[in-house]
């Protein structure tokens, strides 16, 4: 009984018990996953596309527009700067996404950050730099800002009913859906955004070139854009590599890519290169990191130091060159191998009347012209309506001129205030609006001079109204207004191109510029894979070779610094390198760990190193099962710079020994039973297939295997004919007592 009562209490305290009236609550419903995604994800995707990531025809995203409009309402188009924190807080009345994203937006729009070719915000304080990821901007409480002068072109028409206004997120304020920009701002600043399933990447162009192109299109719809629009122009400067075919593709379709190259100068006195402008797609840290990486991998050897010397005067990356380095050839090498030459990918995706569309430059300008024509039409209509209302009032005032005393008498003799307007309407035959206007005239203005001056304005207003109506009826006249505004903007804000254009740039093959020093070296490779390269001239001064505990040094090899090294591994692979890739060392160090330097796989170890200079000769492979392979060394030569070759030798049986020979010679195979077989390699046909199994060379019993292979030394055997077989495979012979004694003396 007590247990039942306890369960009843639990049921009463369960909050779900109060929700039994909700339809479908607590039940599992089967729903197709595609329907769930469509119903739940599509609204989010549309919100990101339409309200966040993709710019509209005024060149702004909603976050940009809300911020700039807030600053405009704060009166920051004139006067001094105010704290950024104040601006951010006020912007939250329109943008509810938090102060962090708002301040990030403000930083990008500022002149101090150098993200935009024509920044909308004048900044004061540390706003960071777009070309450096480490130069972070200060907190909003430390910085100040105001609207830049160019924002006059964004807001001067906004009070003339040129654009629509909507409620903000809590219906307490109004905000514009677009700004009535007087120039094609969408193509004057870089705009990038990633939405859901689509993205936008719009390059920036020079203001004067864009305005000239727009004017030319308005005069001639068939105008060729490339005649007036040379190439994109980026805030970071640099050089744009001219590619007419690719640029025409961007102008026509809105898709394509532009190559941008860094700008540098050579200081002969200090033998260094100063890089002062870089592509907009990279940062100074990325450039330095890439150069350091190339130096560590021995792909660049012409520099002695690289450092970031950026200061208040701007970006500066300094590269100290080694003596004798050609700076121009070296920079061509850096252009090829680092982000100092990069590609800006274009995807001109724009929201046109709430619909994302990818348009070329010509298409965007035509859409902007239509947008601006509508703004001009609405502005003229607004001014026309305003002047008509004023004319209507003045015409009522002109009737008062006929008898001012009568008007005064009507007002004085009217007992009730609310009857003044009706009595004036009756006395002079004017409507209520006109009578209200007359009734509000100050006593000091009830003189003939004042009224005559106002009446003279009637003629001016009638002329203005006639002109405005004529303009409103003529599309060509409205276009002339736009053309005049564009010319004014061009003359007022043009600062010249920042990115120069390079024509007919020749691609330089950087492999031809690599020169490797040629001097004799001695290579020391240990069994555990440590390699030391010591200059032969310094070898006599070297002491005992340092090794890890339990490691053993393999026979040393004398060669040139220009020779190639082939490292055969226990995983049947070969890694190609150059002796020059390894630094000159001393006997007192362990050397460089080859598996790590060549980025070998886990547990992959070097089993043999071959030193070659012309890929002549043969590779010999002796396998534990008695097989013997002779592979032409040319099979390992590659036309490309591949660093790794798979299937370097057969994996069918364990490898006993590998050996490189320049010409045919005698070699000795040794088995675990003590037998030795003398073979002349000239009797074995070479193979071009690297992983060939070869031929059966040595007969073995089931429990025995081949353990090693070495070059035959003259006099090694007392009776060499005993170990040499007429036909293969052969079992070989055991050492005699005389042979054993001879082995000890070697």
For 342-364, how does the pLDDT look when each residue is reduced to its tens digit (9 = 90+)? 999 999 999 998 899 999 999 99
Residue 4 has pLDDT above 50, yes or no: no
Instruction: Check: CB of residue 581 under 8 Å from CB of residue 298.
Output: yes
315: confidence class by pLDDT, cuts 50, 70, 90: very high
Instruction: Check: CB of residue 127 under 8 Å from CB of residue 142.
Output: no
Percent of the chain with pLDDT over 90: 66
String of b and e for 487-511 (b: at least 16 CB within 10 Å)? Answer: eebbeebeeebebeeeeeeeeeebe
Residue 381 has pLDDT above 70, yes or no: yes
Weakest-pLDDT range from 172-186, 230-244, 449-463, 507-521: 507-521
Residue 745 has pLDDT above 70, yes or no: no
Determine the pLDDT at residue 669. 94
pLDDT digits (tens, 9 = 90+) for 475-509: 999 999 999 999 999 999 999 999 999 998 766 65
Number of residues in the chain: 746
Alpha carbon distance 26, 48 (integer Å): 32
Alpha carbon distance 363, 458 (integer Å): 44
Residue corresponding to tokens 């003939």: 448
**Nearest in space to 596 (alpha carbons), one of 560, 567, 638:** 567
* Burial grade of 229 (CB within 10 A; 0-12, 13-18, 19 or more): buried
Instruction: Check: CB of residue 233 under 8 Å from CB of residue 377.
Output: no
Count each helix (H run) and each strand (E run) in the chain, helices first. 19, 32
Q: Mapping DSSP to helix (H, G, I), strand (E, B) and coil, where does residue 439 land?
A: helix
Residue 17 has pLDDT above 60, yes or no: no
Enumerate residues 6+ apart whose C-beta is below 8 A from 278. 131, 236, 238, 262, 284, 287, 315, 317, 339, 340
Weakest-pLDDT range from 90-99, 117-126, 580-589, 608-617: 580-589
DSSP bridge partners of 725: none
Instruction: Check: CB of residue 109 under 8 Å from CB of residue 120.
Output: yes
Enumerate residues 6+ apart whose C-beta is below 8 A from 45. 195, 196, 197
DSSP letter string over 179-225?
---SS-GGGTS-EEEE-SS-EEEE----HHHHHHHHHHHHH-TT--G
Residue 12 has pLDDT above 60, yes or no: no
Whole-number Cα distances in Å, 495 to 146, 188, 306, 628: 21, 12, 33, 76
**Nearest in space to 211 (alpha carbons), one of 183, 232, 230:** 183
Strands (E), 518-675: 520-525, 530-535, 557-560, 564-569, 574-578, 592-593, 606-612, 618-623, 627-632, 644-645, 655-661, 666-671
Residue corresponding to tokens 């104040």: 86
Residue 449 has pLDDT above 90, yes or no: no
Determine the pLDDT at residue 744. 56
Determine the pLDDT at residue 58. 94
Structure tokens at 744: 């000890």
DSSP bridge partners of 147: 121
**Nearest in space to 493 (alpha carbons), one of 131, 105, 117:** 117
Instruction: Check: CB of residue 478 under 8 Å from CB of residue 471.
Output: yes
pLDDT digits (tens, 9 = 90+) for 139-148: 999 999 999 9
742: confidence class by pLDDT, cuts 50, 70, 90: low
Determine the pLDDT at residue 620. 96
Alpha carbon distance 404, 463 (integer Å): 27
Mean pLDDT over 25-46 rounds to 79
Strands 500-502 and 239-241: parallel
Structure tokens at 227: 């005649």
Alpha carbon distance 140, 142 (integer Å): 5
Determine the pLDDT at residue 6. 44
Residue 512 has pLDDT above 60, yes or no: no
In degrees, to the nearest 5, what angle opens at C-alpha 291 toward C-alphas 285 and 292? 90
pTM: 0.71
Alpha carbon distance 605, 529 (integer Å): 7
**Nearest in space to 586 (alpha carbons), one of 553, 614, 544:** 544
Alpha carbon distance 52, 357 (integer Å): 15
Alpha carbon distance 629, 168 (integer Å): 81
Alpha carbon distance 129, 127 (integer Å): 7
Mean pLDDT over 420-428 rounds to 88
Mean pLDDT over 381-400 rounds to 89
Instruction: Check: CB of residue 213 under 8 Å from CB of residue 476.
Output: no
**Nearest in space to 76 (alpha carbons), one of 114, 86, 95:** 86
Determine the pLDDT at residue 34. 82
Mean pLDDT over 690-707 rounds to 93
Residue corresponding to tokens 């450039």: 287
Residue 428 has pLDDT above 90, yes or no: no
Q: Is the peptide bond before 214 cis (omega within 30 degrees of 0)?
A: no
Q: Compute the radius of gyration of the chain from its Cα atoms.
A: 43
String of b and e for 552-575 (b: at least 16 CB within 10 Å)? Answer: eeeeebebbbebbbbbbbeebbbb
Name the residue with higher pLDDT: 444 or 383: 383
pLDDT digits (tens, 9 = 90+) for 618-635: 999 999 999 999 999 999
Alpha carbon distance 61, 101 (integer Å): 13
Structure tokens at 25: 């609550």
Alpha carbon distance 476, 484 (integer Å): 12
Whole-number Cα distances in Å, 698 to 71, 462, 661: 90, 117, 20
Alpha carbon distance 451, 445 (integer Å): 8
Percent of the chain with pLDDT over 70: 94
Structure tokens at 707: 């353990």
Determine the pLDDT at residue 22. 60
Mean pLDDT of the residues in the chain: 89
Residue 330 has pLDDT above 60, yes or no: yes
Determine the pLDDT at residue 101. 93
Cα 235–chain centre separation: 15
Determine the pLDDT at residue 5. 45
In degrees, to the nearest 5, what angle opens at C-alpha 511 toward C-alphas 508 and 515? 120
Q: Among all residues, which ones are annotated catalytic?
A: 142
Weakest-pLDDT range from 46-60, 436-450, 708-722: 436-450
**Nearest in space to 237 (alpha carbons), one of 271, 219, 204, 263:** 263
3-state SS of 288-318? Answer: HHHHHHHHHCCCCCCEEEEEECCECCECCEE
């Amino acid at each position: 009984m007590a247990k039942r009562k306890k369960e009843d209490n639990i049921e009463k305290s369960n909050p779900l018990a109060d929700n039994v009236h909700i339809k479908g609550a607590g039940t599992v419903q089967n729903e197709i996953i595609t329907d769930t995604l469509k119903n739940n994800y599509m609204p989010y995707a549309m919100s990101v596309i339409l309200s966040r990531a993709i710019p509209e025809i005024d060149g702004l995203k909603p976050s940009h527009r809300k911020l700039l409009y807030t600053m405009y309402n704060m009166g920051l188009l004139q006067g001094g700067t105010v704290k950024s924190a104040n601006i951010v807080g006020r912007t939250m009345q329109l943008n509810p996404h938090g102060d962090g994203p708002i301040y990030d937006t403000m930083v990008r729009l500022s002149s101090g950050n150098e993200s935009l070719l024509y920044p909308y915000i004048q900044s004061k304080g540390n706003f960071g730099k777009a070309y450096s990821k480490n130069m972070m901007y200060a907190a909003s409480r430390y910085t100040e800002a105001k609207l830049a002068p160019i924002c006059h072109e964004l807001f001067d028409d906004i009070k003339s009913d040129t654009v629509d206004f909507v409620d903000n997120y809590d219906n307490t304020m109004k905000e514009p859906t677009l700004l009535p920009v007087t120039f094609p701002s969408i193509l004057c600043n870089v705009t990038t955004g990633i939405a859901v399933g689509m993205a936008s990447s719009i390059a920036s162009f020079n203001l004067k070139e864009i305005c000239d192109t727009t004017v030319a299109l308005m005069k001639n719809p068939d105008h060729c854009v490339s005649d007036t629009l040379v190439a994109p122009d980026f805030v970071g400067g640099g050089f744009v590599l001219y590619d007419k075919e690719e640029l025409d593709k961007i102008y026509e379709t809105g898709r394509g890519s532009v190559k941008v190259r860094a700008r540098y100068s050579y200081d002969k006195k200090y033998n260094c290169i100063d890089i002062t402008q870089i592509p907009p797609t990279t940062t100074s840290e990325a450039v330095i990191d890439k150069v350091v990486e190339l130096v560590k991998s021995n792909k660049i050897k012409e520099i002695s130091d690289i450092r970031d010397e950026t200061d208040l005067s701007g970006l500066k990356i300094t590269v100290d060159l080694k003596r004798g380095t050609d700076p121009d050839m070296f920079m061509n090498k850096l252009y090829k191998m680092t982000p100092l030459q990069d590609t800006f990918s274009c995807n001109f995706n724009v929201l046109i009347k709430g619909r994302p569309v990818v348009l070329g430059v010509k298409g965007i300008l035509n859409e902007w012209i239509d947008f601006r024509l509508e703004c001009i039409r609405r502005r003229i209509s607004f001014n026309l309506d305003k002047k008509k209302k004023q004319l209507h009032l003045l015409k009522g005032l002109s009737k008062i001129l006929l008898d001012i005393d009568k008007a005064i008498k009507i007002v004085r003799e009217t007992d009730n205030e609310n009857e003044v307007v009706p009595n004036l309407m009756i006395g002079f035959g004017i409507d209520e609006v006109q009578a209200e206007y007359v009734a509000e005239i100050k006593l000091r203005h009830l003189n003939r001079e004042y009224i005559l001056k106002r009446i003279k304005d009637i003629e001016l207003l009638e002329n203005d109204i006639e002109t405005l109506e004529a303009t409103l009826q003529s599309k060509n006249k409205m276009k002339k207004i736009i053309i005049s505004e564009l010319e004014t903007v061009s003359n007022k804000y043009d600062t010249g191109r920042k990115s120069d254009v390079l024509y007919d740039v020749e691609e330089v093959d950087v492999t031809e510029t690599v020169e490797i020093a040629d001097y004799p070296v001695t290579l020391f490779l240990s069994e555990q894979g440590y390699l030391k390269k010591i200059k032969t001239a310094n070898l006599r001064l070297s002491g005992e070779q340092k090794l890890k505990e339990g490691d053993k040094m393999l026979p040393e090899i004398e060669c040139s610094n220009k020779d190639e090294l082939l490292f055969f591994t226990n995983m049947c692979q070969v890694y190609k390198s150059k002796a020059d890739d390894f630094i000159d060392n001393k006997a007192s160090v362990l050397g460089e760990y080859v598996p790590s330097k060549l980025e070998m796989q886990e547990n992959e170890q070097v089993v043999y190193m071959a030193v070659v200079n012309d890929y002549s000769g043969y590779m010999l492979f002796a396998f534990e099962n008695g097989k013997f392979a002779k592979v032409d060394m040319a099979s390992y030569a590659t036309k490309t710079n591949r660093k790794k070759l798979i299937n370097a030798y057969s994996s069918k049986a364990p490898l006993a020994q590998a050996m490189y020979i320049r010409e045919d010679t005698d070699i000795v195979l040794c088995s675990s039973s003590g037998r030795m077989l003398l073979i002349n390699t000239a009797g074995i046909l070479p193979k071009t297939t690297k992983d060939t199994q070869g031929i059966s060379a040595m007969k073995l019993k089931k429990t025995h295997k081949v353990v090693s292979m070495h070059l035959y030394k003259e006099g090694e055997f007392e009776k060499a004919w005993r170990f040499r077989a007429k036909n293969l495979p052969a079992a070989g012979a055991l050492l005699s007592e005389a042979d054993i004694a001879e082995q000890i003396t070697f």
